[in-house]
Structures are given as C-alpha cells and as structure tokens.
A and B are shown apart, each in its own frame.
Chain A
Amino acid sequence: MRWAAPATLDVAREHGLTKEEYELIVETLGRTPNLTELGVYAALWSEHCSYKSSKVYLSRFPTQGPRVVQGPGENAGCVDVGDGWVVVFKMESHNHPSFIEPYQGAATGVGGILRDVFTMGARPIMLLDSLRFGDLDAPRMRYLVDGVVRGIGDYGNCVGVPTVGGELDFHPSYNGNVLVNAMCVGIARRDGIFYARASGPGNVVIYLGSKTGRDGIHGATMASDIFSDNASQKRPTVQVGDPFTEKLLIECCLELMERGVVVGIQDMGAAGLASSAFEMAARAGCGLLLELDKVPVRETEMTPYELMLSESQERMLLVVKPPDIHEVLAVCRRWGLDAVAIGEVTASPEVRATFGGREAFSLAVGPLVDNAPRYKRPFVAPSASPAVTLPALTTRKWASDLETLLAFPGLGCAHPVFEQYDQSVGASTVVGPGADAALLLIPGTRIGIAATTDCNSVACGLDPHWGAAQAVAESVRNLACVGAEPVGVTDCLNFGSPENPQVMGQFIAAVEGLAEACRAFGVPVVSGNVSLYNETSGKGILPTPTVGMVGVVPEVRHRPSGVWAGGDVLYLVGPVEGDLGGSRYLRLVLDLEVGPIPAVDYPEERRISATVRDLVRLGLVAAKDVSDGGLAVAAVEMSGGDVGAEITLPDRTSVVRALFGEWLGRFLLAVPESCAPAVERACEGLPLTRLGRAGGGELVVRYGGKAVLRGEVKALSAMRETAMSWLTRA
C-alpha cells in the first residue's frame, strides 16, 4: 500500500517541500512520515495554505477597530454595521486554476469564496470579481476571458447571489498568468456568527455535501508553484464546480445554524479534508479521530492519501453534539445532500485517521498548523522609478487621445461582461455593476452595504508602496460616490515568486503601503488572501495587491446616480490638475510606463471623501471619482452616452494634466442648479472648481477661449462599447 509507505526526501521534493522542511518533519515526528502524512504536511505547509513567505509581514495590517467582530484568522472577516447586523466578507484568488481551465477555475473560485462567507453563518448577498488579463491578442487570451466570464456567471447565477461589481483590466504582464480574484459579502445577525472550531471532545464530525473524487488533488501545491510552458498538463488538478449543490449547501447550512445545532463548521477548500480537519482542531485546541472508510466517495479504491487531499468542491465539515445528530441528518436529507458522521472530536490535540481497520496516520495538530515554517526571504527594496522628461504635451489633438483611451478594453464599457451576470437577484441592488461601487440594501431594511475592488497594477509596479496606498484611497473615493463610509478591507495580494528578491521587495513595500493607508483612513483589514508564484517561464506579473473595501450607508434615502442630467452644474472637487505618473494617458497614448506615483495626502483625501459622501447621501449630487483616464474619461462616463456638457478649464492650467491626470483625490460632481449654492457651501475649505454645465449632445472642453476638445457623447460612448463587444457576438 503505497499510501502507507515511508516517504523519502525525493518524494518530499516532488511535493514541493525543501530538504530543510522534510528534515523538520522527520524531526518533529521522530520518524519518517508515511506518504499520506507527507502529503498532508506538504499541503498545509504549501505557500497557499501556510502563508510561509508572507505571514511575518501581514501582521503589519491594522486589524482592530470598534466595528470589528472578527478579524483575520477565520474563514472571513466580520464587521458590525449597526442595528444588530454584521457584514461578513472576503476576497480570494483562483488565478492558477483559471489559467489552466478558465471556466471551471473561475466557477470554483466563486464557489470557494461563497463557502467562506456562509460558513460564518452569513447569507451571501453580493459577489464582485477583480479580473486581470493579458493582451487580447495574446495566445488563448480571448478564450480565457470568455471562459472566466462564463464560469463566474454560470456559478453565481445558479446559486442566486448577484454579481454586482469588480474590475476588468488588461496588461501584457498577465499574458502567462491571468488573475481571478473573487469577493463575496454576506450579512448576518451579530449574535448569529459561527466559527470553524472543532470543540467539545465527544462531539461528532459530520461530512456534508458532494462525494469525494480525485479532482483537485494537489491543488494547493499547484497554486504554490510557478508555471512552466506546459501548464495545460496540470488540468487534472483543477476542480469541477456544481453550483446547484452549492445552493443546497447554503440553504442547508443556514437552516442548521438557525436551528442551533452547529458547534463548528468549515468548508473543505484548498487541501480539502486535510486542512479543514487540522485547522478546525487547531482553533479549538482539540483533536479529531476520523474514520476515512466512511467518507462518501464517487470513485473506487480511493486511498487515505487521496481522501485527505482531494479538493472536490461543495463539501463541508460540521461538528455537532451527539443528541443533535438525527436532526442534523434529517435536515441534510431533506435538502438532498449526503451527510455522514465520519469521526469525533478528541481531547488530545492530534488528528488520527483509520482506514480499512488500521491506523492510516496520526499527526499532532500544533506542529503541523502553528509551527509551519516562516520565511523572511531575501528581498531588494524597490528603487524609485526614474524621473523621465515627458515630451511637450501642449498642442496635441486631445479628442483623438481621448478616443485612444476609450478604445482600450480596460477603460471601456464592461457591459458585455456584466450582462452575463445576474445583477438583481435578491431584489436589493440599488447600484449595480459599472458604477464606482455597488450598493445593496440589507433586505427589509434601509441599511445600505457598498463594496468595491481596486488596484492599479501599473502604479504598483512603478512604486509598490504608493501604488498600494492609492488603491486604498481610490476605494474610499469609490464608496463615497454611493454615499458609503468605509468599514473594512479584505485584500488579495497577487505577486510573482517570493523566491525572487525583487518580487519579495515589491510585496513588502505594497503591504506597508496598504497598512499605512488603511491605518490613515481608519479602515481595518479583516480578511485576505495571498497568491504568490504568479509567474510563467521566469516572467512575473505586475504586483497586484487588490483591495476589496466594504462600506455602509446607515439609511439609504436616494438612489445614487453616476450620470449627469441636462442643466446640471459641473464641479471638480480636488486640484484642477491631476498627476500623470503611472497614468493611463502615458501608458496608452505615449506608450510610457513611468512614475513617479504621487503620495496620498491622507488628511485632505479624508476630508474630500467625507464631504462627497455626505452630499451623495443627501441626494444633492451625482458623483464620479476621477481615476483611470482622468477627467476626460470620467466626463464621458457621466454623460451616460446621452447628454453632453460644456467644460471650461481655468486659465494657467496644464490641459493634459487637467484632462488626463489621475490621483490626488479628485471627484467630478453634477449638481442641479437649485442645489448648487448648498453644494458650494458644503465644499467650503476644499479645492472646488466650477467647470461648466451639462447639456446638448456634445462634450466640449474650452481653454484660453478656444475649444480644445469636442466630440459627440453618443459617439464617444459607443467607442467604449467596442472594445469588449466581441465577447457577446454570437
């Protein structure tokens, strides 16, 4: 029986463990591990599960705050939003599987993040997806985009959780590693939160959900490895999703929790039964005795090694009290789900498993979970991006530059993508995809929950610290546009190989930037995920620390709008000129990826965002954050493709910085004439420029008495539609 055979160093290496790690295992056990034990160690000590290269830095995040109910360390973070309600949220990557098999990779990414949220006792109410692809003309890229979008859609649509936001961006650094970061937000009553703890010796361990197959074995180790050129050979390590079973699991688990018969619960995600068993035991300081013969299987002759490491989807591990077993099994049966008692909680902190009448393995919990290796890998601090003298940018054809920007798929209209997602199931969507942030109501209340994802990876490549900090600042601005105050952050840190000192330097700087900005804005980080080794044939991705931010509107009274109406007065809040460092304009128009990325003026941005937030809540303004593509692109978006505007830039302004500069906390506001005096009063003390007025069918920008940019908004908006229209062409 190979699964019980002693495992040598060579076998350990095949599992991605180093010689030192193998020796540590042998020393801890006082013997050579058998193959199953080694497999469990390799999975739990993989980068994906153990965070061994990143953990020492993640402690820099602020994780506390008056609203925080649960910070990092559980399946998802949990924050109080008032009236006895909490939001539970997390973002997670499914990059490696999605590159190998985009449809199933993305679908199971959605499934996994949903489970992380309902495992906590929360009903999922929205999904967001931050997606990064390479050049649309790179090999397989359109196939990847199409597969990822269909995978996300088919899964989310079937489980009935609306997909309401996220990002879609493109850069050649993702040609060999696309990023699929899925975020889920759920709601629960504050006293109805559940934890992944296997406590109470004598309690029963119940396996719930799909049967176990051989799919996804080694998923965690695959996600902790770089790709060579033959990534397609790893296709069998990608799991297959079943959203129908997931929907049943959601309803079944929430019902069991409501009945009060759940002691602890966790999904079987990366590293399958191995990680859920050991992590649940570790959190409770207990142990488990598992009878592996009882695990429901869908393939024959599965070994303990396979049973522990399979990543078959839609499976949960429950701990219940013995008197409640019948009730639990009856509820599961009514939902048509397999539920089997497969073991019990023990007092001694070790996980033991039997198989075929003999002991399959016995491993102490502590050394495996808490004593995983921690690495302070060598790093090189990123150097400041060199100063570049820009060409003279005074007499260009601004309209044609704007058209270049609008034709870029990352700035275009993502309707062909969003249309494939159910955005309104739940009947609570106030603001759906395509806006700065999504806004939903907690059903039956007026409490608004907003969410956004953000990251400018080009900026992060140029300056990881300020690039990451800017992602936090922009998320705060996005939430302000729907009137929401930020209450918590989840992050998904996507980087190349940590064994590359440059990459490690980027990672550390980005974490520091995120931590600093979250502290400055007073927003705790309550959950997150690290995805390293996003590298193919030695080429890493741009550092992509994606920020997922959740905000609250205590009482939604108006539906926030992101478009202006004819006659509205237009204002720019913040400096007239933006900054071109790392901008879309430099990259797409001048083919320059250069900095510097400006620092975030935290106190100023806080003041501006707070003011805009209040104005939106009062229904006085339509607001748009000026970010990718600058004021010109923001204006096209606010036109809704319908109503034009006349904008006059103040004298002594750099036209290019005003129209195409980014950063610096700028907002474009549209205000009905009658509200203009109130808005001007509210903005006293802030930089505020009256730009002009909405009306007509043309966007006209004047400077120095001349029209420097002119275009039909219908045509400009149509240009935004073209970049992704191939996706839905039958």
Chain B
Amino acid sequence: MRRPGLGARGAGFGGRTRGGWGSSPEPRTPVPGVGGGRRPKVAVVVFPGSNCDRDAMAAVEALGGEAVPVWHEGRDLAGCTAVILPGGFSYGDYLRAGAMAAHSPVMRAVRRHADKGRAVLGICNGFQMLVEVGLLPGAMLMNRSLRFICRDVHLRVERDDLPMLRHLSRGQVLRLPIAHKEGNWFATDEVVAEVEQAGAIVFRYVTPAGEVTDAANPNGALHGIAGLSNREGNVIGLMPHPERRIHPLTGGEDGAALIRGLVEAA
C-alpha cells in the first residue's frame, strides 16, 4: 500500500547493529539514587503536535514523579532518568506517523538514553516513533479499517519481569483506551518469530477473559501485539493510553501501574 521502505527495513531488523534490537546490550549505567525524598524526574518530550504530553505529565506527577517537559529541539533530557514519548500528531504526522519525529534533535538524546539502559516509554505516537527510529522492531500500518479508532480495549500483560512492569502481573487483563489511525503493527515473519521467541511482547489485545482473538484485535496488529519491548527491556512502546486511566472517575486506574513502574524505574 504505502510505506515503500518496509521490505528493506523489515529485512534489516535481525541484523541491526545500532539501538536495542538485535544489538548486544551495552553495560548498564548505574541509575543515580532517588533517595532523600526527591521525586524521580521523568522527561516528557514535547513535539510540535504532541497532544498527550500534558496528560502524561499529569499522570507522572500523580504517581509520585516529577514531570519535566523537554522541547523537541533539546539536546539532552534535562537530567531525567526516564523518558516518555507521548501521543499526538508530531509535526502533523503528514508524512507517516512518527517519521518526522524520528529525525528530531531530541531523538538523538533519547537514543543515547536508551543505549545506556535507561527507561523509555513510548505511548501511541511515541510507540510509532520508537519503531521509526528502530529502537523497537517492526512497522506501523494503517488500521485495517483504514479509520481512526477510539475505544476501550483489553490487554493481556505478557511479562512482568522488567523494571517498568514491576507493578503488573503476567496474565493480568487491563482495560485501556486506544485512539489512533496507524496502530497495525507489522513485521516480516522472521522478525515476528524473533520477537515472539525473545519474549519481547509486553501487551496483547485480548477479550475481557484474556483470550487472543481476531475480534478482540482492533487494528489488525500481527499476533495481537499492542505493546513491545526491546531485547534489553528498558524501551517499551504501546498503542493504548495508560496515562488516561489513572483515576476512577475518568474510567478507571488500569493505567496507573505502568506509569508508576516507569516513575520508579527512573
């Protein structure tokens, strides 16, 4: 359909030498202590066209972190030890979701941060960016309905052994909203097999009872993949919006555990 570079990039996933996927992990840099009552600092990158940045910052603050907005032209992450790439339409996303953002100045800092083993969470447009820069494998296609979809979906937590996922339990089913037009995760068979084998799948679309079915998959993503990590587990991207679900009045608290995990991983 579109995305002419897909084949070439897809083939390259297994052999990538930069970034998290396919490369050997770099030595983990010790994260500075967060004692002394200081709240962990979480950078929220603000691109022109980001529209979930304020929600992400509010969620971080509500869950014990200190949210620090970082402008897209920033060269560093302002001393933060975790970073959120928020949802929205960065630079208008007129080219391809996340494609322009992948080339923004701040992305170099995000990559360095990821390469040091520090926590990176990409939500919706942020997930699309992580895929575009190659920190996560695969590519995002248009939803199979070819339309924007906003609805609540159920997600099964596929692993809980990563720092960011410490407050989640494997097999747990979360209910979170999605709101996107390009969330149909796709990759070559080879990459999909590698992802499955490495246990890099963090969330899958499921029925309320926790089963993977085609009907429970809102956008056509391969293997019902809603969220992924890199091989090292410090970079996670997901299409649903945990930052919108941290209060019972606004639809529940199913998003709080992931954000809290990110804050504590900072």
In the complex, B204 has a CB within 8 A of chain A = no
**CB-based contact A153/B51 at 8 Å:** no
**CB-based contact A425/B179 at 8 Å:** yes
**CB-based contact B89/A559 at 8 Å:** no
In the complex, A58 has a CB within 8 A of chain B = no
User: Which A residues touch B58, using CB under 8 A?
Assistant: 427, 443-444
Chain A's closest residue to B46 (CB) is A251
Given contacts A160-B51, A443-B58, A424 and B145 within 8 Å (CB-CB):
no
**CB-based contact A422/B179 at 8 Å:** yes
User: Which B residues touch A424, using CB under 8 A?
Assistant: 150, 177, 179, 241, 244, 250-251
**CB-based contact B48/A248 at 8 Å:** yes
In the complex, A157 has a CB within 8 A of chain B = yes
- Per-residue CB contact flags for chain A residues 229-261 toward chain B (1 = under 8 Å, else 0) read 000000000000011110110000000000000
In the complex, A159 has a CB within 8 A of chain B = yes
Chain B's closest residue to A420 (CB) is B148
User: Which A residues touch B59, using CB under 8 A?
Assistant: 427
User: Which A residues touch B243, using CB under 8 A?
Assistant: 427
Nearest CB in chain A: distance from B214 CB, A: 14
Nearest CB in chain A: distance from B260 CB, A: 16
Given contacts A157-B179, A419-B150, A420-B147, A429 and B251 within 8 Å (CB-CB):
yes
In the complex, A700 has a CB within 8 A of chain B = no
Chain B's closest residue to A448 (CB) is B249
Task: Determine the distance from Cα of A420 to Cα of B147 in the docked complex, in whole angstroms.
Answer: 7
Task: Determine the distance from Cα of A242 to Cα of B145 in the docked complex, in whole angstroms.
Answer: 23
**CB-based contact A247/B55 at 8 Å:** no
User: Which A residues touch B87, using CB under 8 A?
Assistant: 425
Task: Determine the distance from Cα of A153 to Cα of B87 in the docked complex, in whole angstroms.
Answer: 16
User: Which B residues touch A728, using CB under 8 A?
Assistant: 145, 147
**CB-based contact B250/A430 at 8 Å:** yes
In the complex, B109 has a CB within 8 A of chain A = no
User: Which B residues touch A429, using CB under 8 A?
Assistant: 250-251
How many residues on chain B are close to A (CB under 8 Å)? Answer: 36
User: Which B residues touch A242, using CB under 8 A?
Assistant: 92
B93, B145, B244: the one within 8 Å of A427 (CB): B244
Within A121-163, which residues are at the interface with B (CB < 8 Å)?
Answer: 150, 153-154, 157-160
Task: Determine the distance from Cα of A589 to Cα of B151 in the docked complex, in whole angstroms.
Answer: 33
**CB-based contact A159/B250 at 8 Å:** no
B89, B94, B150: the one within 8 Å of A247 (CB): B89
In the complex, A585 has a CB within 8 A of chain B = no
Nearest CB in chain B: distance from A122 CB, A: 15
In the complex, A108 has a CB within 8 A of chain B = no
Taking each of A419, A423, A424, which has the highest tally of chain B beta carbons within 10 Å of its own beta carbon?
Answer: A424
Task: Determine the distance from Cα of A139 to Cα of B94 in the docked complex, in whole angstroms.
Answer: 32
Given contacts A427-B58, A427-B250, A559-B248, A419 and B149 within 8 Å (CB-CB):
yes
In the complex, B78 has a CB within 8 A of chain A = no
Chain A's closest residue to B59 (CB) is A427
User: Which B residues touch A244, using CB under 8 A?
Assistant: 48-49, 89, 91-94
Within A538-574, which residues are at the interface with B (CB < 8 Å)?
Answer: 556, 559
In the complex, A303 has a CB within 8 A of chain B = no
A154, A159, A556: the one within 8 Å of B148 (CB): A154
**CB-based contact B150/A422 at 8 Å:** yes
Task: Determine the distance from Cα of A430 to Cα of B249 in the docked complex, in whole angstroms.
Answer: 6
Task: Determine the distance from Cα of A453 to Cα of B246 in the docked complex, in whole angstroms.
Answer: 29
Given contacts A244-B89, A247-B49, A426 and B55 within 8 Å (CB-CB):
yes
In the complex, A730 has a CB within 8 A of chain B = yes
User: Which B residues touch A157, using CB under 8 A?
Assistant: 89, 148, 150, 179, 181
Within A679-730, which residues are at the interface with B (CB < 8 Å)?
Answer: 728, 730
User: Which B residues touch A444, using CB under 8 A?
Assistant: 58
Nearest CB in chain B: distance from A253 CB, A: 14
Place the interface of chain A in its size category.
35 or more
| Interface residue SS majority, chain A | loop
User: Which B residues touch A443, using CB under 8 A?
Assistant: 54, 58
Task: Determine the distance from Cα of A247 to Cα of B88 in the docked complex, in whole angstroms.
Answer: 10
Task: Determine the distance from Cα of A402 to Cα of B30 in the docked complex, in whole angstroms.
Answer: 67
User: Which B residues touch A419, using CB under 8 A?
Assistant: 147, 149-151
User: Which A residues touch B31, using CB under 8 A?
Assistant: none
Task: Determine the distance from Cα of A247 to Cα of B241 in the docked complex, in whole angstroms.
Answer: 20
In the complex, A441 has a CB within 8 A of chain B = yes
Nearest CB in chain A: distance from B105 CB, A: 14
- Per-residue CB contact flags for chain B residues 143-181 toward chain A (1 = under 8 Å, else 0) read 011111111000000000000000000000000010101
Task: Determine the distance from Cα of A689 to Cα of B54 in the docked complex, in whole angstroms.
Answer: 47
Chain A's closest residue to B255 (CB) is A427
Chain B's closest residue to A159 (CB) is B51
Task: Determine the distance from Cα of A159 to Cα of B89 in the docked complex, in whole angstroms.
Answer: 8
Within A402-451, which residues are at the interface with B (CB < 8 Å)?
Answer: 418-430, 441, 443-444, 446
A159, A427, A430, A441: the one within 8 Å of B55 (CB): A427
**CB-based contact B89/A158 at 8 Å:** yes
User: Which B residues touch A441, using CB under 8 A?
Assistant: 249-250
Task: Determine the distance from Cα of A430 to Cα of B147 in the docked complex, in whole angstroms.
Answer: 25
Nearest CB in chain B: distance from A149 CB, A: 9
Nearest CB in chain A: distance from B71 CB, A: 8
Within B65-122, which residues are at the interface with A (CB < 8 Å)?
Answer: 87-89, 91-94
Task: Determine the distance from Cα of A154 to Cα of B92 in the docked complex, in whole angstroms.
Answer: 11
Task: Determine the distance from Cα of A336 to Cα of B52 in the docked complex, in whole angstroms.
Answer: 20
A158, A556, A730: the one within 8 Å of B145 (CB): A730
In the complex, A335 has a CB within 8 A of chain B = yes
User: Which A residues touch B148, using CB under 8 A?
Assistant: 153-154, 157, 420-422
Task: Determine the distance from Cα of A159 to Cα of B247 in the docked complex, in whole angstroms.
Answer: 23
User: Which A residues touch B49, using CB under 8 A?
Assistant: 158, 244, 247-248
User: Which A residues touch B144, using CB under 8 A?
Assistant: 730
Nearest CB in chain A: distance from B153 CB, A: 12
User: Which A residues touch B241, using CB under 8 A?
Assistant: 424
Task: Determine the distance from Cα of A247 to Cα of B52 in the docked complex, in whole angstroms.
Answer: 12
User: Which B residues touch A423, using CB under 8 A?
Assistant: 150, 177, 179
Chain B's closest residue to A556 (CB) is B249
User: Which A residues touch B250, using CB under 8 A?
Assistant: 424, 427-430, 441
Task: Determine the distance from Cα of A722 to Cα of B182 in the docked complex, in whole angstroms.
Answer: 26
Within B37-54, which residues are at the interface with A (CB < 8 Å)?
Answer: 48-49, 51-52, 54
User: Which A residues touch B93, using CB under 8 A?
Assistant: 158, 244
**CB-based contact B244/A425 at 8 Å:** yes
Chain B residues in contact with chain A, CB under 8 A?
48-49, 51-52, 54-55, 58-59, 87-89, 91-94, 144-151, 177, 179, 181, 241, 243-251
A-B contact pairs, 5 of them (CB 8 A): A420-B150, A430-B250, A446-B249, A559-B248, A730-B146
Chain A residues in contact with chain B, CB under 8 A?
150, 153-154, 157-160, 242-245, 247-248, 335-336, 418-430, 441, 443-444, 446, 556, 559, 728, 730
Since A160-B89, A427-B59 are in contact, a sample of 5 more A-B pairs with Cβ atoms closer than 8 Å, ordered by chain A residue number, is A243-B89, A248-B49, A422-B148, A425-B179, A441-B249
